[in-house]
Structure 1
Amino acid sequence: MTDALTDTPPPAADPARPPAAAVGWSFPVPRAQPCDPPAEYRTEEGEPLRRVPLSYGGEAWLVTGYKQARAVLADHHGFSSDSTLPGYPAFPLSSKRTVPGHFLSMDPPQHTRLRQLVAAEFSGSRVRALRPALAASAEELIDRMTAAGGPQDLVSALAVPLPALSASQTLGTPLADRDFFLACTRDLQTHDATVAQRVLAAGKMNQYLEQLFTAKRTGTDQDLFSRLARSLDDGVLTMAELVGVANLIVVAGLETTAGLFSLTMLSLLADRRQGDLVREDPERWAGPAVAEALRYWTLVQHGVARVATRDVELGGRLIRAGDGVVVHLATANRDRSVFEEPDRFDLTRGVRSQLAFGHGIHRCLGSFLAQTQTELAVAVLMRRLPGLRLAEPQAEPAFLAEMLIYGLRNLNVTW
């Protein structure tokens, strides 16, 4: 990667690089059907990628084929996550300045250094050791729910407090401040939020986290944030980097787990046959149900952005150095050449390699934790309340269509 990218003249037109205006719409397109990604992203010919105009300005290659999406995400040498580079797609939350600690928008070695500081906390062995505590959290919340009686909103009763409890136990964030974190997260991840709204939310979160780390720096607690706060004395990272890393972990963890749990439960309660499999054997089928929910719903609504750092041939097209790329994970997870009947939720399909959490070095750090916590909560809930059902089965669920992370606003259930 060199500074020459900024001085490269626009490439001449060629058949492999059709004009973006040819598609007749700009990305992103609102969902016409809440259960499916926008139909515009698919073509009858099954094209895996094409150039599209962006509603945020400029244009990019939209990658919708599964194999091509996986290839882009795996190639961190040919495709950069650095949002400050020329050509990087103008996306919500992307910044044209380097934000300390935000390793999702960095390439190695900066990305590697920061991610490794927290990676062990989310490793497979660490998460497996947490399973009893995660299951106990689900049991506690279900105890409260059943004591209050039905009907109840499963989102507010279980989906939202579940990751907050986990964050309190593992990260060291005060449980009492859950509503503050959720409000900041919603302001940051609302699709059409203004720059001013995002700046205000980020400022509040950063100020809060800096105060939290200052207090934890002299403590003896063993949660992740306490240990990281004490590492400031060793010069391993700066306060600004620590706040940025923590911001990523908190913001991503709350909405992702809440959305995954609520959408998994909607799928199981809306389809009696699918739900009965989990009711009859929760330990066997809760895991496959969550895996299929990840493929079917794919929480990241508008995909992930990259910019090419060299010429790359992909799907029969030439992506040139400096071209922006948008990998639409939700459409890639519905690729008919990879998944049979992809528009049908089927927990028996045995899906193993969906892209909901990304792929490669930038795969979601907390993906295994989110998936494990959701699986345990689904298993406990269906075992404890086998009669659980939708309180208003004919009502259209209220989806978080305006959010960058998909989910449900509420899910009313009874038992």
Structure 2
Amino acid sequence: MTIETAEYPAPRADRCPFDPPPAMQELRERTPLARVRLWDGSTPWLVTRFADQKALLSDPRVSADVTRPGYPSPAPVRGGSISFILMDDPEHARLRRMVTAPFAIKKVAAMQPGVQKIVDDLIDEMLAGPNPVDLVEAFALPVPSLVICQLLGVPYADHDFFQKNSKVIINRNATPEDREQALGRLFAYLDGLIGEKIASPGDDLLSGLTSRIAAGELTRADAAQMGVLMLIAGHETTANMIALGTATLLEHPDQLALLRDADETLVASAVEELLRYLHITHNGRRRVALEDIEIADEVIRAGEGIILANDIANRDPAAFTDPDRLDLRRSARHHVAFGFGVHQCLGQPLARMELQVVYGTLYRRIPTLRLATTIDEIPFKHDGSVYGVYELPVTW
């Protein structure tokens, strides 16, 4: 029997800000598949369990193409350029290959000393500045913003502009008009940068795309759209993970103590466990069935929407023992925080490296770091498609 629940995404509980929405956790315990109601009245399938999500994310009968009828869009869709992450192969694979090289593991490893310097410099500035301080503005947001700007070839001096527009785009309560205008401003900005790099290319990712444009493999509009995607994803997700992870650790002092003098192996394990435990995306991964698919004793019909709620999959007791407990020694790398299959997150090697540097440095260098307020006073991003905190006042 199919269970239908309230609107999706469901609210998190204020008293448990680090946990997935209680209604979603209850659904996972009751059924592997349920119907949920979206903003437009449609009722796609919600897939609640870890094994079923991995199976569907790697199933060629499941499409990520946002233009297909039945796709469960998280917001009204308007015309314009579509990101390659919302396409299917072979076009998805063709465009993705053009930006894969800078995120290769060896390339990312070569960036680590530079990221370490960024982290150390920002900590130096924090220690020399006012106390208490908002960790979001002083540290969590600048770290990934500086890194992605260097990688893309975007002037960091423009960070206020792109961060302001990014916040509108990922705010679930923004109107379609506001979101479209913010996207338009970012697109025009990236298009202008690409124009400059066509005239005078440098050693960065956007400059690398100009040769693709010259060869006719990529339109300038597609290159600008790629730039928008990577600029937003490259700083918003990691920034929120740094701040949210820190808030979590400050509320779990036994786990924070493990990190203060941890070796590289434990730091890497801690990053994977925090990614599993927190999972910062609210909207799930959206797909649509191309054919009838039998799964979990149900049939998802061709043309029906599918939502893969990764936050509750990462708390599935069938995949992780005692999943609601934060355990930095846990082997959690098989989590689905970065997705699975051909659409898994392109930037995951960079995100992992940045988080390892941050988590391996911040608490060691500021061993007395603590909240400058109570956890119930922290403004969590309940209105965003990327979860985190708006501010994190800390002291030492």
Q: Shorter-chain-normalised TM-score: which range?
A: over 0.9
Write the distance in 1 (CA, Å) between the matches of 2:169 and 2:123.
30
Instruction: Check whether the contact 1:218–1:230 (CA below 8 A) recurs between aligned residues.
Output: no
Q: Supply the distance in 2 between the matched residues of 1:149 and 1:26 (Cα, whole angstroms).
A: 43
Deviation at 1:305, TM superposition (A): 0.7
Q: Say if 2:99 is the partner of 1:99.
A: no
From 70, 76, 79, the equivalent of 1:87 is 70
After TM superposition, the structure 1 = structure 2 runs for residues 371-382 of structure 1, keeping only pairs within 5 Å, are 371-382=352-363
SS in 1 for 2:44: strand
Residue type of the alignment partner of 2:275: L
Matched, 1:59 2:40: no
Q: Deviations over 1:80-118 (max 9, x none)?
A: 0011111111312x7365724x11110001101110000
RMSD, matched Cα: 1.7
Deviation at residue 203 of structure 1 after TM alignment: 0.7
Residue 43 of structure 1: CA displacement?
3.2
Task: State the match for 1:413 in structure 2.
Answer: 394
Q: Where in structure 2 are the equivalents of 1:141-152 lying within 5 Å?
A: 141-152=122-133
The residue that corresponds to 1:370 in the other structure is 351
Aligned pairs for 1:10-21 (under 5 A) are 18=2
Distance 2:201 2:86 in 1: 32
1:246-265 equivalent positions in 2, closer than 5 A: 246-265=227-246
SS at match of 1:253: helix
Size of the alignment, in residue pairs?
393
Equivalence map 1:219-368=2 (5 Å): 219-281=200-262, 283-368=264-349
CA distance in 1, matches of 2:19, 2:10: 12
> Which of the residues 78, 98, 102 maps onto 1:117?
98
Match of 2:139 in 1: 158
Q: 1:136: which partner in 2? A: 117
2:164 counterpart letter in structure 1: A
Taking the aligned partners of 2:306 and 2:80, their CA distance within structure 1 comes to: 19
Judged with a 3 Å threshold, the aligned counterparts in structure 2 of structure 1 residues 283 and 385 are, in CA distance, closer, same or farther, namely farther
- The answer as to whether partners of 1:84 and 1:97 remain within 8 angstroms in 2 is no
2:390 counterpart SS class: strand
Pair 1:207–1:220, CA change in 2 (3 A): closer
State the Cα deviation string for residues 261-303 of structure 1 (Å, max 9, x = none). 1111112221111011011225343222221111111111120
Aligned AA for 2:61? G
The TM-score with structure 1 as length reference comes to 0.91
Native 8 Å contact 1:28 1:55 kept in 2: no
> 3-state DSSP class of the match of 2:27?
coil
State the SS of the aligned residue for 1:43. Answer: helix
Structure 2 letter corresponding to 1:80: S
SS at structure 2 position matched to 1:29 = coil
Q: Are the equivalent residues in 1 in contact too, given 2:136–2:392 (CA < 8 A)?
A: yes
Amino acid in the other structure paired with 2:369: L
Q: Letter of the aligned partner of 2:51 in structure 1?
A: K
CA distance in 1, matches of 2:384, 2:304: 26
- Match of 1:383, as an amino acid? R
Asked if 1 retains the 8 angstrom alpha-carbon contact of 2:12 and 2:20, the reply is: yes
Q: Does 1:396 align with 2:380?
A: no
SS of 2:11's partner is coil
Deviates more, 1:372-381 or 1:111-120: 372-381
Q: Partner residue of 2:178?
A: 197
Give the corresponding residue for 1:3: none
1:47 aligns with 2:35: no
Counterpart of 2:152? 171
Which residue type is aligned with residue 36 of structure 1? D
Aligned-partner Cα distance in 2 for 1:193–1:365: 27
Q: Which 4+ stretches in 1 moved above 3 angstroms? A: 43-46, 94-98, 393-396
The answer as to whether partners of 1:289 and 1:347 remain within 8 angstroms in 2 is yes
Per-residue deviation at 1:374?
1.4
Inter-partner Cα distance in structure 1 for 2:248 and 2:271: 10
- Greater shift, 47-56 or 159-168, is seen at 47-56
Preserved contact between residue 18 and residue 248 of structure 2 (Cα < 8 Å): no
CA contact (8 A) 1:48 1:315 kept: yes
In structure 2, C-alpha distance between the alignment counterparts of 1:170 and 1:364, rounded to whole Å: 17
Looking at structure 2, the residues matched to 124 and 364 of structure 1 have their Cα atoms a distance apart, in angstroms, of: 13
Equivalent-residue separation in structure 2 for 1:372 and 1:95 (angstroms): 34
C-alpha change, 1:222 and 1:323, in structure 2 (3 Å) is same
* Alignment partners' CA distance in 2, 1:96 and 1:309: 23
Listed as ranges, the gaps of 5+ residues in structure 2 are none
Unaligned stretches of 5+ residues in structure 1: 1-14
Superposed CA deviations along residues 196-247 of structure 1, whole A, max 9, x for unmatched, are 0111001101111111111111214111112212432221200111011111
Equivalent residues of 2:28, 2:48 under 8 A apart: no
2:56 aligned with 1:72: yes
The question of whether the paired residues in 1 share the 8 Å contact of 2:278 and 2:311 is answered with yes
Distance 1:123 1:161 in 2: 23
TM-score norm. by structure 2 comes to: 0.95
State which of 368, 378, 383 in structure 2 corresponds to 1:387: 368
What one-letter code is carried by the residue in structure 1 that aligns with 2:183?
Answer: A
Q: CA deviation at 1:394?
A: 5.3
Structure 1: distance between partners of 2:199 and 2:257: 51
Output the CA distance in 2 between the equivalents of 1:139 and 1:398.
27
